[in-house]
Chain A
Amino acid sequence: MKQKIKFAFHILFHPFDGFWDMKHERKGDLYVSLGIMLMVIVSNIFSRQATAFLFNPQKYANLDVVFEINKVLILFLLFCVSNWSITTLMGGEGTFKDIVMTTGYACLPLVIIPIPVAIISNLSSYYEQVYLTTANSVATLWFFALLFAGIMTIHNYSIGKMLGTIVITLVAMAALLFICLLFFNLFSQLIGFVYSIYKEIALRT
């Protein structure tokens, strides 16, 4: 177990090597990567609640845990599904499990940086704000770089093809989201329709 967690940190600094090993040497672990995803949710909630008053306009707003979970989970699923569906068509070598694991491991900077930043923010004034925002943007950039390197490695893509795939993946994500919303909307209307028919009959008889 310790080895597996250590491997996640190894990927942080050696993404190409690391993701190659993850796929081909079977060093990665699905549960560790899902655990990292879980930690992303925790760290999001933590930094929302624990960031100092000065930098946190929503400090005293109500926290919607379900919404916080959904925010991460939906994006995660959306990305994995659409990336998988695109890359299977475009000769990617990665399986769905690989994509899920890569995304999970790539999220590690979003856990290890924002949590200390949130704690340190309690000791900072506006003068130190620039360091905090820099740290957080480093986390985001790092995450994207890891994701990029990981997806590229597991599918064995060149950079040009990778960039193209990313664009198409984003389009696919939007399309998927649209279809989901449409489906939910239609479904809720259908339910409403059936319910109103039931009500009509129940009240008439």
Chain B
Amino acid sequence: MKKILASAVLCLLFCSWAFGVSAFVPYDTYTYSTRTGSVEALYSPTAYYPDFVIDKSLIGIPLVTPTCICFDKEGNMYITDNSANRLIVLNPDFSLKANLDTFETEDGMFEFLGGPEGVFVTDDMEIYLCDTKQKRILVLDQKYNIIRKYENIKPVGVENDEDYSFMPTRIVVDSSKNMYVLVQNEYQGIMQIDQNGKFISFLGSNKVTYDPITKLWKKIMTKEQKKQLIQFLPVEYTNLTMDHEGFIYTASKADNSSPIKRLNLAGKDVLIRNGYVDMVGDVKTSKTTEKVESLIAGVDSDENGQVYALDSNGGRIFVYNSEGFLLYAFGSIGNQIGSFITPSDIKVNNGLIFVADQGTARITVFRRTEYADLVTKANDLYYKGQYEESVNLWKQVIERNANFELAYAQIGKVYLRENRYKEAMEYFKLGNFRGDKITNTTGYNKAFIEYRRIQASKLLGPFVIVIVVLYIGYSFYKSRRKRTGKAANLQR
């Protein structure tokens, strides 16, 4: 009896432990399915769980409003604390390395920060700091001494404008030390500044978006009326990061068409968007009645080219693979660990997702679950060209989430490559992947054409024989009838 009781208690304990993982996750993970012809959000297994948070209890000093996170190549973490006017540096094990609010210049003076919003560390360990309210960019060396200052940089055309304020909010630096800076209230794009602090050009300006009714009104209105109209400005960028290949990922709010962009150094958007749904965060599904709109506040990408987008409206994180397919979406607004109030930046390092949240004054660190590990691995193997291994992993993914269309599509692609057309068609069907209409390189269409060709060539021989036999038989029958007819005529 005791044994049974003990085992029952143990069993219960075990159960609570097993469910514990999913129980403390304050959000649902989902992906979009297009199998029925309309978009539907379907639950998926939990992909990431909040592992720990970086706040006072971990690092010893309070974070007030963390705005920007950056990692250097050694894994040290840099956090700008906007309203506390300081830069916090953590070791790779997330213990406090430095808490910096004063910086020494070369001539022995001390400088303070004023509302720093962005930080970036280059490969040769120079720290670029956006000292937003003091309108300057500071460059620090490894001992956190100021080695350069860039102040009050003005773009071409407004050099003599006294009112122009250079308030940098985010910065990235390329390998030739050109700076790419987001400036508050600057609508023309990303400011490109060279090493000497000279303005080069604007990069990738967003387009102005009108609604059609305003467009119509503008045609009707007189010049005076047009002047009174509110000025329409292009959408401002909210965040930018540099990926491992030197491309700049940008996020912009309130831009329906492309809130996430990947710019090359000529300012052209080169993001691949092959996915089932647009890369805009939440999309409208057949079940939602009100308009859902994500505000992309941050974006980052990892070494595999996966894109992580942060939605400050729904508190969600969207993970896309390098071709723009949504892998999973999760997150919520709230106070619990794993939820955010006003998230401001997202960074990925060693497979962990770091989200800085000003509302809850902490940085939440998410870790992959077994499911997400599988997906990532399968995805990774596929793009590395290890197709057979990736098929096995995708099949394991399907066992855990039968709604995940990308898994079917990727298996289909591999089978198509291996000339197993029938199976490829089967998987493309399950994955709702028809293929491109123009290029026709992969997808159901391609598999179907190949399958049809084989079937046709198989059937052609017998088909011709049947036709010939039928024709001969028919003409034989006809001539027989003719002859008998003639015979009958003769007889008459």
Which A positions have Cβ atoms within 8 angstroms of B? 53-54, 57-62, 123, 125-127, 129
Contacts and interface: CB of A to CB of B under 8 A. Distances in A.
Given A125-B452, A126-B440, A58 B36 contact: yes
A123 B452 contact: yes
Contact of B35 (A54, A60, A123): A60
B445 A61 contact: no
B367 interface: no
Interface of chain B, helix or strand or loop or mixed? loop
A54 B444 contact: yes
Contacts of B22: none
Contact of A125 (B35, B37, B38, B448): B448
Contacts of A127: 449
A89 to B, nearest CB: 37
A60 B434 contact: no
Interface of B: 34-38, 429, 434-435, 437, 440, 444-445, 448-449, 452
A138 B434 CA distance: 26
B37 to A, nearest CB: 4
Contacts of A57: 34, 37
A61 B38 contact: yes
A125 B449 contact: yes
18 contacts: A53-B429, A54-B434, A54-B444, A54-B448, A57-B37, A58-B36, A58-B37, A60-B35, A60-B37, A61-B37, A61-B38, A123-B452, A125-B445, A126-B435, A126-B437, A126-B445, A127-B449, A129-B437
A125 B38 CA distance: 22
B36 A53 contact: no
Given A57-B34, A126-B445, 13 more contacts: A54-B445, A57-B37, A59-B37, A61-B36, A61-B37, A62-B36, A123-B452, A125-B445, A125-B448, A125-B452, A126-B437, A126-B440, A129-B437
A-B pairs, 9 with minimum CB distance: A58-B37, A57-B37, A61-B36, A125-B449, A126-B445, A61-B37, A126-B437, A125-B445, A60-B35
A62 B286 CA distance: 13
Contacts of B448: 54, 125
Contacts of B35: 60
Contacts of A60: 35-37
A85 B38 CA distance: 39
B453 to A, nearest CB: 10
Contacts of B435: 126
Contacts of B444: 53-54
A58 B445 CA distance: 17
Interface of chain A, helix or strand or loop or mixed? loop
Nearest to A61: B36
B101 to A, nearest CB: 58
Contacts of A126: 434-435, 437, 440, 445
A48 to B, nearest CB: 10
A70 to B, nearest CB: 19
Nearest to A123: B452
- Most interface-central of A57, A123, A127 (chain B CB within 10 A): A57
A41 B211 CA distance: 39
A126 B36 CA distance: 20
Contacts of B36: 58, 60-62
Nearest to A53: B429
A53 B35 CA distance: 11
Nearest to B40: A61
A61 B448 CA distance: 22
A57 B437 CA distance: 14
A124 to B, nearest CB: 9
A123 B452 CA distance: 8
A60 B428 CA distance: 13
A53 to B, nearest CB: 6
Contacts of B434: 53-54, 126
Contacts of A62: 36
B203 to A, nearest CB: 38
A129 B440 CA distance: 13
Contacts of A58: 36-37
Nearest to A62: B36
B201 to A, nearest CB: 42
B244 to A, nearest CB: 36
B106 to A, nearest CB: 65
B189 to A, nearest CB: 38
- Most interface-central of A61, A126, A129 (chain B CB within 10 A): A126
A123 B444 CA distance: 13
Nearest to B425: A53
Nearest to A59: B37
Nearest to A56: B37
A62 B449 CA distance: 28
Contacts of B34: 57
A60 B434 CA distance: 14
A202 B452 CA distance: 69
A195 B449 CA distance: 60
Contacts of B429: 53
A18 B21 CA distance: 74
A59 B449 CA distance: 20
A60 B37 CA distance: 8
Contacts of A53: 429, 434, 444
A122 to B, nearest CB: 10
- Most interface-central of A54, A58, A61 (chain B CB within 10 A): A54
Contacts of A59: 37
A54 B445 CA distance: 7
A149 to B, nearest CB: 36
